[in-house]
Amino acid sequence: MDENSKESHESYGMLSISRLSGHDTVLFGSSIPHRNTIRLSIHPGVVERSLNHDHYYAERKPYIEVEMSQAQFAEAITSMNMGSGVPVTLRELNGKLMEKPSFTSKRMQFEQEFKERMENLESHLARLTEKAEDILRNKKSVNKTDRHTILNELNALKRELASNMPFIASSYNEQMDKTTQEAKAELEAFTINKLNQLGLEKWKEQQDLPVSQDPLQQLTQETNHTEQE
């Protein structure tokens, strides 16, 4: 490159990672709103040659901009080559702003799913009762087919109660543990940001204080003043 020249190329990019703080933010793949998030942006990159140095900077709008929680960011950088990746929330893609995701309460979601499962179980039990009553009331004797029908229905109920219900309970506990961890990470992020802010304010206060005079210089000035008197 020549001196005082700029160069861009379709393969040049600039990556920036920022901390954001503000109002409650809903993020894809997270079960709680967040006030402290991480934003990752990729812009077209430009290199400028000036004063015998290369200077890199971003230009125009980003190709892509995503936002994530502190926990999602930590998982992303510590879980490389594992699974399909980490959920992030798209904010901008090729100049187009993305619609904000809606919030879903996991507790209410589990309650609704459990309610639907119990309604299905109740419906299944009602059908079994109806079949059994029909066989016992309208038939003089119960044949092999009837017994097979009733046993199949009973076994289906048994599987529902013995396997599916504990699985729902286990899934609920797992989700609540995850939500608790997300809340802890959010609290830790808030605390760290607050401490950093207080430390920066304290540093600024110290910068505004007058610089202490050198003791020897102060003694010399006092001596000269005494001699003049």
60/46 Cα distance (integer angstroms): 10
How far, in whole angstroms, is CA 121 from its chain's centroid?
A: 35
Domain ranges of the chain: 5-97, 106-185
pLDDT in tens, 104-147: 877 777 778 777 877 887 787 888 788 777 777 777 777 888 77
Please compute the mean of the pLDDT values over residues 209-228 and round it to a whole number: 52
Report the candidate in 133, 168, 173 with the shortest Cα–Cα distance to residue 149: 133
pLDDT in tens, 186-200: 666 667 666 666 676
Whether the pLDDT of residue 102 is over 80: the answer is: yes
Report the candidate in 22, 17, 33, 28 with the shortest Cα–Cα distance to residue 72: 28
What six digits make up the tokens of 2? 């020549």
Residue in the block written with tokens 């020897």:
216
Name which residue leads in pLDDT, 224 or 161: 161
Please compute the mean of the pLDDT values over residues 198-227 and round it to a whole number: 57
Enter the pTM of the model: 0.55
pLDDT in tens, 163-173: 777 777 777 77
